[in-house]
Amino acid sequence: MRKHFSGPLGKSVVILGVAYLLLEFGIAYIPPLFGVDSGPIPDSVLLQYMVTVAIGILLWVSFNETLWEEFKAPLHAAMVEPRQRRTRVALIVLVPVLVGLMTFNSVRPSIAAPPSLRSIHPAPPGQIDFQGRSMELAGVENPLRSVGSPEEHYLEGRRVYYQNCLPCHGDGLAGRGHYAQGFNPGPASFQDVGTIAQLTESYVFWRVAKGGPGLPNEGAPWNSAMPAWEDFLTEDEIWSVILFMYEQAGHEPRTWEEEGEEH
Amino acid sequence: MFVLGKNEKLISVTLLATLVVVGCGGGDSSDSAGSSSAASEATVMENPVDPSTAGNISGSVAFEGSAPAMDAIDMSGEQVCADKHSTAPMLQTVVVNDNGTLSNVFVYVKEGSAIEGMQFPTPSAALLDQDGCVYTPHVMGVMVDQEITIRNSDGLLHNINASPTEQRGFNTSQPFNMETSQDFGTPEVMVPLRCDVHGWMTAFVGVVNHPYHSVSDGSGGFSLSTLPEGDYVVEAWHEQYGTQAQTVTVTAGGTTDITFTFSADMANAVVPMRTPIDPHDHPLVTDHQ
Amino acid sequence: MAIWGGVAFALSLAMMPLGLGALQEDEQLGKVTYDRWCSECHGVDGDGTGSAAGYMLPRPRDFTLAMYNIRTTASGDLPTDQDLLRAINMGAPGTAMPAWDDVLTEAEKQALVQYLKTFSRFFPLDENPVPLVLGSPTGVSEEVIAEGRGQYEAIECWKCHGDQGRGDGESAATLMDDTGFPIAAADLTENWFFNGGADVEDIYRALRTGLDGSPMPNFSDVLNAGVMTDEELWAVAHYVRSLAPEDTPGISEVVLAKLLTEGAELATSFDDQAWEEIEGTYIPLVGQIIVKPRWFDPRVDGVWVKAMHNGDDISVLVSWSDPNNSPDPLWSDWKSQVTRIMEPREAADNEIDAAPDQLVVQFPMQMPEGMERPYFLKGDSRRPVYLWEWKSDRQTALEGEARGVGTESFQDEGQDVSVKGMHSDGQWQVVFTRPLLTSDENDLDFITGEAIPMSFFAWDGDNGESGNQGSLSSWYFLLLEEPTSTKVYVAPPIAMLIAGALGFFIVRRVQKREMESFRS
């Protein structure tokens, strides 16, 4: 048994197998180690990875003539050796069966939902029309950070959050409120480093004030259930809830200096 | 760093001490009144009141104004119960008797230095029956730790949901003809009882730590007997009309007559019991649009 | 996330005079954690009247009463620390109380348990509450479930929970919790919303302990009185468990409309046998909280959808739990209470009119090109939607269209969709039938093989729901099964043939070359 896997061909098969198992079943367990949500990788990505692995193997076995010969030898033997007649027949039968199954898989009717795009953070406008008046967003910081008591703003923001945002975004701010299951795409998690942690407060203000209906035409998801909160909340209430979100989730808003450096 | 056991130990020691003090304050003589289970096994005490120096209070609860119309109970969903009533069953919230008196008023001694600190024997079990999908009696008084035998005579599902404020309640089901025993360990006027299966079924239990309690009957009468002589505050409680109190002097061998008067315009009285929660008792979001 | 608590905790430690003991230390952490995460619902004083309380039904637990639904202790007894910890960790499904297991640290949760108890004068206790001995489940079989059904009838669970367990018993309309708020009898077919857990052990525990503070009584006293055996009570638990699906329905985005075989009759009624062949798809619904007036107490929390077509017509069966056929005078008190107590009171006067139950199925008016679908809340001017509307007080369904909330208009005549609805045992079953193609250009054409966006709106009139106040889903897809194309049968054999021939050819070729080299 051992000698079957000692040659380059055997090793290649083992590498492919191990790579497949790791990609299909193993990789999903890595992100949770760092506290990030995870799921199995999609088939299309899996295929890409497998092709990459295969190319790597081919590069390796064709590195020098000897290795290439060793790689080919068992294949060659399987085709010509009179003693390996059985293997030969098995291969000639099995390979077409495999091809047939794959073909069937690709042509059979599927009942999958069409894919949908998400452009996570569409570019914000420089200014918006907020409750009937024009409002600059570019360069704007949360005005509540420089006036009044932070404690009071936090408490006011918490009230606003719990009365309005909680059903979807949840008590833990992780997007797992008791209404979260009802919406697709699901509510944003503010604990996630990919949401408010990498946005400026004025960006968040825009998303809160304008909600799903205020997303730009090119900005998926078009089915965001986020209400346009300017219909419910005052400007101060929105700023206070933003302040609360950062505080409660333990994130710092991105500042305009950082934003500037990027451009 | 997290020392749970320590706290609990501390707490339990303090409490245990309190409990021992409270629990050992009991009496020392025996009593022939067939009080049930636990009480009869422990030292059963004698009534500490000397009848020769005791007097009585009796009286009635008058009602002024026109008696409110009683609401009929729709028992069509429970034919078994409906059949038990020869006349249409009515809600017992306000029962004005033919003689113009008020039934179902719980009358009890609220204060009285003469009986303060006295330990009275626990009477035998009181009966609360569910017969014809109504509680009989609708209002009753018991002593602390007195057993209440709750009986289901209907043979269909009742639940008895007691929601006191001063102590723990219970919610027990009786799907068949059966009896369950319950008691209350803390004085409380009044403990509301309800059956959730039959929304109209309510009852009230007054729990006091002495035997001087009574419920006005079909002719509005009540009586409190064998009280040591002295001054008492006697309170009358009604589920709709609230409470009122009188100071009464009891003399040895005498019977003091008192009258409580409730009137129809007290209908919005505050009834001492668990105060209903205001559904809007929380800050509101201000509406800006 | 724990920074805030950590800082305050560290501060409190630093400021605390040495030797004051663990009690204060824990209480500080408990208070900091509570104030930060719990107080906005349960109130700073633990009395259940935080600012968000009015947006929830059932209301947040009032800790001053120490009345806990989910315990392992006898009715009326206080919960154990473990019971409180469990409630924190798992939350209360079916309510706004979330699971905190991965939000709070172990130390925070432990401190919280101790802190919660300080709100009530019933704590601390002289000795720890004693859990009931609940034993382990008896075996389950069809006989056990049948026995459980018998007991379910005998002990009259149906009085509140209904004959089929959908929370539609005759007493359901008048149920109140101990704080005077209306409370729904649990819908036993949706065990994923049981606040104490979905398993048979959880159900049995609820039977033994009762859910204190709610109308659910305990049945331990019934066992103690000897009028029922433990096996019988377990059988009840098994039966109740059997009312819900074996597995909590996962969310599937696609409802497949099954293509009927030639000659099979299209079901146009809810009681058609043909429906039994088709597996239902569960679609969760939540309250409409996007536009005014919002509704935070939706009755319809999900619908089951089945669909079939025969190439000419399509039938869609939608069924959902609803305890009654609105409007029903028996429920008028319920309705006025719910509308009175639910925040935010953005509706003008939904308490006044008797309202029917309603269902609206929404499709795009035209199949979207690309991925962009109409706005899921009744579309907008750019992308209108096409609607089927059913109401419990009307025999017909109406087709309509909308270009945004409030712009719905329904066709007066020439309805292409027909409907049959029935309410029984706490469930609505409504079947819509329509030709795949109609002559009306404002009707969506149902094309087989395409994933057609579909979403739902539902209202329970006697729960105070009408207009914008109801429940809704986001977009799902309706896919009309296509006749299996011939390529499914032809392509794989051809591929096999080619592969086989190629393999054979290669092997022959190599062998031939080998022979030649051997000869030479």
Report ipTM (2 d.p.).
0.88
Q: Which of A163, A164, A234 sits opposite B288 (nearest CB)?
A: A234
Same domain, B70 and B189: yes
Residue C390 DSSP SS3: strand
Is residue B281 one of the residues assigned to a domain? no
| Residue of chain A nearest C518, judged by CA positions | A80
Answer yes or no: are the C-beta atoms of B211 and B123 closer than 8 Å. Answer: yes
Q: Dmax over Cα atoms in chain A, in whole Å?
A: 91
Residues near A192 by Cβ (< 8 Å), separated by ≥ 6? A36, A37, A174, A175
Does residue A84 carry a pLDDT above 90? no
Same domain, B126 and B259: yes
Q: Which residue in this structure is represented by tokens 């597995």?
A: C247
Q: In this complex, is the C-beta atom of A158 within 8 Å of any C-beta atom belonging to chain B?
A: no
Same domain, B118 and B181: yes
| Residue of chain A nearest B286, judged by CA positions | A233
| pLDDT value at residue B7 | 43
Instruction: Fill in the amino acid letter for C132.
Output: L
| pLDDT value at residue C349 | 65
Answer yes or no: are the C-beta atoms of B227 and B254 closer than 8 Å. Answer: no
Domain hosting residue B8, numbered range = 4-41
C-alpha C152, offset from chain centre:
24
Tokens representing C285 are: 């619904």
Q: In this complex, is the C-beta atom of B289 within 8 Å of any C-beta atom belonging to chain A?
A: yes
Alpha-carbon span C37 to B223, nearest angstrom = 55
Is residue B246 one of the residues assigned to a domain? yes
Neighbours of chain C (3+ CB pairs under 8 A): A, B
Residue A5 C-alpha, separation from nearest chain C C-alpha, in angstroms: 23
Q: In this complex, is the C-beta atom of B18 within 8 Å of any C-beta atom belonging to chain C?
A: yes
Residue C15 DSSP SS3: helix
Same domain, B36 and B66: no
Q: In this complex, is the C-beta atom of B288 within 8 Å of any C-beta atom belonging to chain A?
A: yes
| pLDDT value at residue A263 | 43
User: Residue C259: what are its φ and ψ, rounded to 5°?
Assistant: -85, 125
Q: Which of B161, B172, B196 sits opposite C171 (nearest CB)?
A: B196
- pLDDT, mean of residues A66-91: 84
Answer yes or no: are the C-beta atoms of B269 and B240 closer than 8 Å. Answer: yes
Q: In this complex, is the C-beta atom of B283 within 8 Å of any C-beta atom belonging to chain A?
A: yes
Neighbours of chain A (3+ CB pairs under 8 A): B, C
| pLDDT value at residue B176 | 95
pLDDT digits (tens, 9 = 90+) for A134-172: 999 888 899 999 999 999 999 999 999 999 999 999 999
Cβ of A103 within 8 Å of Cβ of C40? The answer is no
Question: Going from the N-terminus, what domains does chain A have, and what CATH number goes with each?
Answer: 2-107 (no CATH), 127-262 (1.10.760)
Alpha-carbon span A245 to A240, nearest angstrom = 9
Q: In this complex, is the C-beta atom of B2 within 8 Å of any C-beta atom belonging to chain C?
A: yes
Is residue B93 one of the residues assigned to a domain? yes
pLDDT digits (tens, 9 = 90+) for B231-289: 999 999 999 999 999 999 999 999 999 999 999 998 887 787 755 455 555 444 333 33
Mean pLDDT score of chain B: 83
Cβ of B15 within 8 Å of Cβ of C114? The answer is no
| pLDDT value at residue B210 | 95
HSE-CB of C485 using CA atoms within 13 angstroms: 12
Provide, as residue numbers in chain C, all residues whose Cβ is less than 8 Å from the Cβ of B168. 76-78, 122
User: Is pTM, for the whole model, over 0.90?
Assistant: no
Does residue B190 carry a pLDDT above 70? yes
Residue C332 DSSP SS3: helix
Cβ of B288 within 8 Å of Cβ of A163? The answer is no
Alpha-carbon span C399 to C417, nearest angstrom = 7
Which site among B282, B284, B285 would you substitute to test the A interface, given the most A Cβ atoms closer than 10 Å to its Cβ? B285
Provide, as residue numbers in chain B, all residues whose Cβ is less than 8 Å from the Cβ of A232. 285, 288-289
Alpha-carbon span A246 to A145, nearest angstrom = 12
Same domain, B27 and B122: no
SS3 assignment for chain B: CCCHHHHHHHHHHHHHHHHHHHHCCCCCCCCCCCCCHHHHHCCCCCCCCCHHHEEEEEEEEEEECCCCCCCECCCCCCHHHHCCCCCCCECCCCCECCCCEECCCEEEEEECCCCCCCCCCCCCCEEEEECCCCEECCEEEEECCCCEEEEECCCCCEEEEECCCCCCCEEEEECCCEEEEECCCCCEEEEEEECCCCCCCEEEEEEECCCCEEECCCCCEEEEEEEECEEEEEEEEECCCEEEEEEEEECCCCEEEEEEEEEHHHCCCCCCCCCCCCCCCCCCCCCCC
Mean pLDDT score of chain A: 85
At A37, is the pLDDT very low, low, confident or very high (cuts 50, 70, 90)?
Answer: low
Cβ of A109 within 8 Å of Cβ of C485? The answer is yes
Which site among C68, C156, C214 would you substitute to test the B interface, given the most B Cβ atoms closer than 10 Å to its Cβ? C156
At A219, is the pLDDT very low, low, confident or very high (cuts 50, 70, 90)?
Answer: low
Q: How many CB pairs under 8 A join B and C?
A: 148
Does residue B150 carry a pLDDT above 90? yes
Cβ of C488 within 8 Å of Cβ of A109? The answer is yes
Instruction: Fill in the amino acid letter for C458.
Output: A
At A258, is the pLDDT very low, low, confident or very high (cuts 50, 70, 90)?
Answer: low
At B35, is the pLDDT very low, low, confident or very high (cuts 50, 70, 90)?
Answer: very low
Residues 82-141 of A with CB under 8 A from B: none
Q: In this complex, is the C-beta atom of B5 within 8 Å of any C-beta atom belonging to chain C?
A: no
Cβ of A248 within 8 Å of Cβ of C373? The answer is no
Q: Which residues pair with C403 in a beta bridge?
A: none
Does residue B6 carry a pLDDT above 60? no
Tokens representing C87 are: 């409630």
Instruction: Fill in the amino acid letter for C13.
Output: L
Same domain, B107 and B33: no
Cβ of B8 within 8 Å of Cβ of C128? The answer is yes
| Residue of chain A nearest B287, judged by CA positions | A232
| pLDDT value at residue C107 | 95
Is residue B283 one of the residues assigned to a domain? no
Same domain, B59 and B28: no
| pLDDT value at residue C12 | 44
Same domain, B190 and B66: yes
At A26, is the pLDDT very low, low, confident or very high (cuts 50, 70, 90)?
Answer: confident
CA quadruple C217, C223, C226, C229: dihedral sign: positive
Does residue A44 carry a pLDDT above 80? no
Provide, as residue numbers in chain C, all residues whose Cβ is less than 8 Å from the Cβ of B283. 51
Does residue A3 carry a pLDDT above 80? no
Q: Which of A160, A164, A231 sits opposite B289 (nearest CB)?
A: A231
pLDDT digits (tens, 9 = 90+) for B38-49: 444 445 577 888
Does residue B79 carry a pLDDT above 50? yes
Residue C419 DSSP SS3: strand
Same domain, B34 and B58: no
Residue C474 C-alpha, separation from nearest chain A C-alpha, in angstroms: 5
User: Residue A92: what are its φ and ψ, rounded to 5°?
Assistant: -65, -30
C365 cis-preceded (ω within 30 degrees of 0): no
Count of structural domains, chain B? 2
Q: In this complex, is the C-beta atom of B3 within 8 Å of any C-beta atom belonging to chain C?
A: yes
| Residue of chain B nearest C109, judged by CA positions | B2
Cβ of C215 within 8 Å of Cβ of B3? The answer is no
Same domain, B37 and B56: no
Provide, as residue numbers in chain C, all residues whose Cβ is less than 8 Å from the Cβ of B19. 126
- pLDDT, mean of residues A78-84: 81
Cβ of A177 within 8 Å of Cβ of C488? The answer is no
Q: Which of C26, C176, C180 sits opposite B2 (nearest CB)?
A: C26
Tokens representing C477 are: 């897809």
| pLDDT value at residue C120 | 93
Provide, as residue numbers in chain C, all residues whose Cβ is less than 8 Å from the Cβ of B287. 344, 346
Does residue B2 carry a pLDDT above 60? no
| pLDDT value at residue C351 | 55
Is residue B88 one of the residues assigned to a domain? yes
C-alpha A99, offset from chain centre:
32
DSSP state of A254: B
Pick the closest to residue C463 from C310, C321, C346, C364 (CA basis). C321
- Rounded average pLDDT per 10-residue block, chain C, 520 residues: 45 43 72 95 94 94 94 95 96 94 93 95 86 93 97 96 96 93 96 95 97 96 94 97 94 92 87 92 96 95 96 96 95 92 82 86 90 88 94 93 94 89 96 94 91 96 94 95 84 89 86 80
Tokens representing C495 are: 């591929």
DSSP state letters, C268-279: -STT-GGGGGS-
How distant, in Å, are the alpha carbons of A137, A242, C211 from that of A146? Answer: 17, 14, 49
Which site among C103, C252, C281 would you substitute to test the A interface, given the most A Cβ atoms closer than 10 Å to its Cβ? C103
Listed range (A121-130, A229-238, C223-232, C456-465) with the worst mean pLDDT = A121-130
Cβ of C3 within 8 Å of Cβ of A222? The answer is no
Residue A41 C-alpha, separation from nearest chain C C-alpha, in angstroms: 18
Same domain, B99 and B234: yes
Does residue A6 carry a pLDDT above 80? no
Residue B100 C-alpha, separation from nearest chain C C-alpha, in angstroms: 33
Is residue B32 one of the residues assigned to a domain? yes
Is residue B252 one of the residues assigned to a domain? yes
- The CATH number of the domain where B252 resides is what? 2.60.40.420
Cβ of A231 within 8 Å of Cβ of B283? The answer is no
Provide, as residue numbers in chain C, all residues whose Cβ is less than 8 Å from the Cβ of B11. 124-125
Alpha-carbon span C376 to C359, nearest angstrom = 15
Q: In chain B, what percentage of residues exceed pLDDT 70? A: 79
Q: Which residue in this structure is represented by tokens 């055996």?
A: C229
Q: In this complex, is the C-beta atom of B159 within 8 Å of any C-beta atom belonging to chain C?
A: yes
Q: In this complex, is the C-beta atom of B282 within 8 Å of any C-beta atom belonging to chain A?
A: no
Pick the closest to residue A232 from C503, C290, C70 (CA basis). C290
Cβ of C503 within 8 Å of Cβ of A100? The answer is no
C-alpha C261, offset from chain centre:
33
Answer yes or no: are the C-beta atoms of C162 and C294 closer than 8 Å. Answer: no
Same domain, B137 and B23: no
Residue C476 C-alpha, separation from nearest chain A C-alpha, in angstroms: 8
Residues 352-371 of C with CB under 8 A from B: none
Instruction: Fill in the amino acid letter for A43.
Output: D
